[in-house]
Amino acid sequence: MQIETASALESVSSIAALPGVDVLLIGPFDLGNNIGRPILDGKIHAELQDAIERIKEAAHGAGKKVGIYCTGGEQAREFAEQGFDMISVAADMIALPKAFGDALAVAKGGKKLAGKVGGGYDGR
């Protein structure tokens, strides 16, 4: 279950206790916007940090897992160290423009990407 609204946050313990719910998933940008504490310039407001911790505690208290979307590897490591179970290593709104921009630069004859890019599922 995604916990991204003020009403879901208010009911998080009840949601975590529901049979069939295995994971509470946090979208910090949507949750922050919904509780009036948007993430600005990469800064997570203390109230949003508290909400994220509350969700983690509710999930773990009910014997469930908790996941969170992160903007990059450094933030993902921080949440792993805090005990989150499922963690994205990049947000699509950050990773996709960078990946497409890098690929476009290569296509235009510019910089080369590090490592092997592309190939099929058979490794070729």
- Percent with pLDDT over 90 in the chain: 61
pLDDT in tens, 64-122: 999 999 988 899 999 999 999 999 988 777 778 888 888 888 898 877 666 555 555 55
Angle at 22 between CA 52 and CA 32, to 5 degrees: 20
- Percent with pLDDT over 70 in the chain: 89
Question: What's the confidence (pLDDT) of residue 122?
Answer: 54
Q: What is the mean pLDDT of residues 37-47?
A: 92
CATH 3.20.20.140 fits 2-107, yes or no: no
C-alpha 1: how far from chain center? 14
Does the pLDDT at position 29 exceed 60?
yes
Question: What's the confidence (pLDDT) of residue 99?
Answer: 85
Average pLDDT, the chain: 89
Report pTM: 0.77
